[in-house]
Amino acid sequence: MAAEVLDALKPRPGGRYADGTLGGAGHAANILAMSSPTGWLSGCDRDGVAVEAAKKQLTEKFAGRFEIRRGNFAELAVWIPAASTDGVLLDLGVSSPQLDSPERGFSFQHDGPLDMRMDDRQLLKAADLVNDLSAEELAKIFWEFGGERESRRFAKAIVHDRALRKFETTKQLAELIERLAPRRGKKSHPATKIFQALRIAVNDEIGSLKRGLAATAKILKPGGRLAVITFHSLEDRVVKEFGREKTRDYTFSGEVDVPELRRPRVPEMKWMSRKAIQPGDIELKENPRSRSAQLRILEKI
């Protein structure tokens, strides 16, 4: 969604921007190009391979106009000054290079280690969850992060099978799920939601997203924009809830919004579009993986 992101952030010369999910640096390069010759980009990614590739790619055309760090976008406010940034992009989810690298263990399309770490400095792997958690804990992950209706049945089967042989590869896990729930002509693999849930749990993606959104609100200038691309309903729900909280013209104490106890306040942000922006037909044709992408845009007041 390159064009949509540029339209949302409107990079300009002299502007300062942040890309919290560098990936292949495609968005970062577009932002720097559009903000030439004096725009600045702060970027980060948890993936060390992505960080090194991004540095190499951006240095060729934009040397001296960016700073890249390896880390979680949840920490943006730690190293980027408050109210200093004109636009922030968070392009969530797993990247194509990660999915296409069997050794990373993100996909059941290729056999590889049951890993799924975005940051390989992290100790916790997907195999640790699958082999060590109880059936109840696994079922909770499958349901909360994957929306898997067969979460309990799959979790019990995993616990049963691992007593005979520990799960070490993506193929082992995918084959077990497919054996329990044969495809029978369905387009999506029955292990899709299980792999998504494990990936989210391993990388604390929802916790990171909540902290990252709070960080972007701190580093944005008044008039600065936040663009977030989500790929599943759980992420989108978190972004929408953040937006609702930041755009409200009132506050309240406690966890329950009781109208009689509301106190007026000035909203911190405003929606630039009430509805999510979705990929166009051309992008869907060129990049089928973008079919579930949704772009939401907020502007700091």
* pLDDT tens figures, 240-254: 999 999 999 999 888
Question: pLDDT category, 57, cuts 50, 70, 90?
Answer: very high
Question: pLDDT category, 158, cuts 50, 70, 90?
Answer: very high
By DSSP bridging, strand 85-91 and strand 16-19 are parallel
* Cβ-contact 10, 94 below 8 angstroms: no
CA distance 282 to 22: 23
* Helix/strand/coil for 127: helix
pLDDT at residue 284 in the model? 78
Give the DSSP letter of residue 257: -
The predicted-structure confidence for 199-238, as pLDDT tens digits, reads as follows 999 999 999 999 999 999 999 999 999 999 999 999 999 9
CA distance 113 to 101: 11
CA distance 270 to 287: 30
Strand spans (E) along 179-293: 220-230, 250-251, 263-264, 269-271
How many CB atoms are located within 10 Å of the residue 206 CB?
16
pLDDT at residue 247 in the model? 97
φ and ψ at 116, to 5 degrees?
75, 15
pLDDT at residue 228 in the model? 97
* Helix/strand/coil for 88: strand
CA distance 151 to 153: 6
* Cβ-contact 32, 66 below 8 angstroms: yes
- pLDDT of 289 > 80? The answer is no
By DSSP bridging, strand 294-300 and strand 220-230 are antiparallel
pTM (predicted TM-score):
0.93
pLDDT at residue 97 in the model? 86
- pLDDT of 102 > 80? The answer is yes
Rounded (10°) angle between helices 170-180 and 192-202: 140
Question: pLDDT category, 162, cuts 50, 70, 90?
Answer: very high
pLDDT at residue 254 in the model? 85
User: Mean per-residue pLDDT for 279-285?
Assistant: 79
What does the radius of gyration of the chain's CA atoms come to, in whole angstroms? 21
CA distance 284 to 280: 6
Question: pLDDT category, 274, cuts 50, 70, 90?
Answer: confident
Task: Tell me the C-alpha to C-alpha distance, in Å, between residue 157 and each of 108, 161, 168.
Answer: 18, 6, 16
Question: pLDDT category, 19, cuts 50, 70, 90?
Answer: very high
